[in-house]
């Protein structure tokens, strides 16, 4: 790839979201907007190697998209053009379209990006459609990249994105930022999609890699964009804090050959201090905006307790238990209960943790948590600490059978071998 083509690729990565957003405001159709933006990219690939990259690429690309839109309109109309009246109407349509797209150049682009984010995360779409469309339009990932990230065939992901765009088009949605109660519900959806993307990158559900760094990076980029677009939204700052703080441990979470390294075993000197500071600052913003007891803020505060401890034994587990208690009041869930049980075991001992864990397991019954590998992994750890090796072995074996991530399987298998060495012979 030539230097010019690399430069074009970099420009496209930066400008594509804004370009699609600006065009979509005029066309009110995301599918058409993406096609016109792609046409503009083709024009850049054809002309920039000869003419050089323009000083202001965004207006150039918007102008190219406008020309392609007018050309497309002309081709469609010329097929049926038989009378002078139709020709005059065509000329008027071209002029109106050109003026509308010219105005799109002069208006506040960030408003368009915000509209695009809210549209991509519209509740009319299934969650998987929101995730795929967000990564495609706002994250700038190709269909192939998204498919690789979620370990599905490219064709499957392409169909998922196509269906999402078709659903939005058929719903005839207004391309605008919602207000009032709808804004609140849609912000929640947007934040949950970004967090879902980050979590899948932070600990991959399936596959051979412990982490998918590209997804974490995209989620962080989206989070930073959101706090710029919605500076008064406390949970936006809190989610960014949560992601920054967790991502600061990335290097320490991966050992040789990509092996998983859990928090107690991490070399804390490898944590990214600059990223920790960014996370702490974002958490302070969220708290100053009055969101200290909201969902993402409480999770970020829990992670912040870990980041302040420069050695595992210095962790303030009593405070973490209190924060989980508050989180259970705000957003109770089996996963929060599981994490709270771990904190209780660290603060009050394995027996107390096991009591909390067994209470969750009793409630879980045949629910999804009953088949959640971490429930059995944690229970196995606690039983091992209490000297109940036979039951501990059974629980860890269950966890190994349930996880679909190779690195987690390796981690659990290693733990099982260590336990068997430590177990008294019978």
* pLDDT score at 100: 53
Whole-angstrom distance, CA of residue 299 vs CA of residue 271: 19
399 and 413 belong to one structural domain: yes
258 dihedral zone (left: phi>0; alpha: psi -120 to 50; beta): left
Same domain, 101 and 116: no
pLDDT at 400 over 90: yes
**Per-residue pLDDT tens digits for 32-73:** 888 888 888 888 888 888 888 888 888 888 888 877 777 765
Last residue of a domain, one of 187, 221, 255: 221
For range 259-286, the mean pLDDT: 95
pLDDT reported for residue 92: 54
Instruction: Give the percent of the chain with pLDDT over 90.
Output: 39
Task: Please say if the pLDDT value at position 302 is more than 60.
Answer: yes
Q: In terms of domains, do 116 and 87 share one?
A: no
Reply yes or no on whether the pLDDT at 365 is more than 80: no
Give the span between the Cα atoms of 345 and 378, in whole angstroms. 10
The verdict on 55 and 132 lying in the same domain is no
Do residues 37 and 119 share a domain?
no
* Helix (H/G/I), strand (E/B), else coil: 254: strand
**105-139 tens-digit pLDDT:** 444 445 778 888 888 888 899 999 998 998 888 88
Does one domain contain both 32 and 84? yes
Q: Is residue 291 part of a domain?
A: no
Among residues 221, 253, 285, the one where a domain terminates is 221
For residue 176, tell me if it sits in a domain: yes
Per the structure, how many domains does the chain have?
A: 3
Task: Please report the pLDDT score of residue 81 as a whole number.
Answer: 42
Confidence band, pLDDT 50/70/90 cuts, at residue 364? low
Question: pLDDT at residue 31 above 60?
Answer: yes
Q: Is a pLDDT exceeding 60 seen at residue 366?
A: no
Residues 190, 129 share a domain: yes
Q: What is the pLDDT of residues 201-214, one digit of tens each?
A: 898 777 778 888 88
Q: Determine what percent of the chain is predicted with pLDDT higher than 70.
A: 87
Per residue in 224-271, pLDDT (tens digit) is: 989 988 899 999 999 999 999 999 999 999 988 888 899 999 999 999
Mean pLDDT for 177-205 is 84
> What integer pLDDT is reported at residue 68 of this predicted model?
78
**For 222, which DSSP code?**
H
Same domain for 125 and 217, yes or no, is yes
Neighbours of 180 (CB within 10 A): 7
Residue 120 falls within a domain, yes or no?
yes
Residues ≥6 apart with Cβ < 8 Å to 208: 406, 407
Element (H, E) at 42: helix 30-51
User: Does some domain include residue 217?
Assistant: yes
Residue 252: both structure tokens together: 């320490």
Note whether residue 279 is domain-resident: no
Q: Answer yes or no: are the C-beta atoms of 121 and 130 closer than 8 Å.
A: yes
Give the pLDDT mean for 287-295.
93
Instruction: Please check whether residue 304 is in contact with residue 296, taking contact to mean a CB–CB distance below 8 angstroms.
Output: no
The verdict on residue 371 lying in a domain is yes
More reliable by pLDDT, 141 or 342: 342
Distance CA(31)–CA(36), nearest Å, equals: 9
pLDDT in tens, 145-180: 888 777 788 999 999 999 999 998 888 877 777 777
Mean pLDDT, the chain, as a whole number?
84
User: Do 126 and 52 share a domain, yes or no?
Assistant: no
Q: Does residue 205 sit in the same domain as residue 157?
A: yes
Decide if pLDDT at 183 tops 80.
no
State which residues form the domain around 214. 110-221
C-beta of residue 375 within 8 angstroms of C-beta of residue 358: no
Domain end (from 221, 239, 271): 221
Judge if 129 and 33 occupy the same domain. no
28 and 95 assigned to the same domain: yes
User: Of residues 284 and 20, which shows the higher confidence score?
Assistant: 284
Q: For residues 174 and 176, what is the distance between their CA atoms, to the nearest angstrom?
A: 6
**10 within a domain of the structure (yes/no):** yes
Domain assignment of residue 359, yes or no: yes
The token duo for 200 is 């899948």
Predicted local confidence at residue 138, as pLDDT: 84
In terms of pTM, does the model score above 0.75? yes
């Amino acid at each position: 790839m030539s230097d010019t083509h690399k430069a074009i690729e970099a420009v496209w990565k930066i400008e594509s979201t804004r370009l699609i957003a600006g065009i979509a405001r005029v066309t009110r159709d995301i599918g058409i907007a993406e096609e016109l933006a792609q046409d503009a990219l083709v024009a850049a690939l054809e002309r920039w190697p000869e003419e050089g990259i323009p000083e202001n690429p965004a207006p150039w690309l918007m102008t190219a998209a406008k020309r392609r839109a007018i050309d497309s309109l002309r081709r469609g109309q010329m097929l049926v053009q038989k009378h002078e009246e139709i020709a005059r109407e065509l000329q008027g349509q071209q002029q109106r379209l050109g003026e509308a797209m010219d105005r799109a150049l002069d208006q506040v682009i960030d408003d368009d990006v915000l509209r695009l984010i809210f549209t991509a995360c519209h509740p009319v779409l299934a969650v998987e459609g929101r995730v795929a469309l967000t990564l495609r339009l706002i994250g700038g990932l190709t269909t192939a990249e998204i498919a690789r990230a979620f370990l599905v065939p490219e064709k499957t992901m392409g169909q998922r994105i196509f269906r999402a765009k078709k659903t939005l088009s058929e719903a005839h949605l207004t391309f605008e930022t919602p207000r009032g109660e709808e804004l609140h519900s849609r912000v929640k959806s947007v934040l949950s999609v970004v967090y879902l993307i980050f979590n899948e990158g932070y600990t991959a559900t399936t596959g051979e890699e412990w982490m998918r760094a590209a997804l974490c990076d995209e989620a962080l980029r989206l989070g930073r964009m959101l706090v710029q677009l919605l500076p008064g939204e406390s949970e936006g700052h809190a989610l960014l804090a949560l992601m920054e703080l967790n991502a600061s441990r990335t290097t320490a979470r991966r050992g040789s050959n990509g092996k998983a390294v859990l928090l107690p075993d991490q070399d804390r000197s490898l944590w990214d201090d600059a990223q920790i500071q960014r996370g702490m600052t974002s958490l302070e913003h969220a708290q100053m905006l009055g969101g200290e007891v909201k969902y993402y803020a409480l999770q970020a505060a829990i992670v912040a307790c870990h980041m302040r401890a420069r050695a595992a034994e210095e962790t303030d587990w009593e405070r973490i238990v209190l924060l989980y208690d508050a989180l259970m009041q705000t957003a109770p869930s089996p996963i929060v209960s599981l994490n709270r049980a771990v904190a209780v075991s660290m603060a009050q001992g394995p027996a107390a943790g096991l009591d909390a864990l067994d209470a969750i397991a009793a409630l879980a019954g045949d629910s999804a948590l009953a088949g959640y590998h971490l429930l059995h992994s944690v229970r196995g750890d606690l039983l091992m600490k209490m000297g109940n090796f036979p039951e501990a072995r059974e629980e860890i074996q269950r966890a190994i059978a349930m996880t679909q991530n190779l690195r987690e399987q390796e981690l659990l298998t290693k733990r099982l071998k260590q336990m068997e060495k430590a177990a008294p012979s019978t």
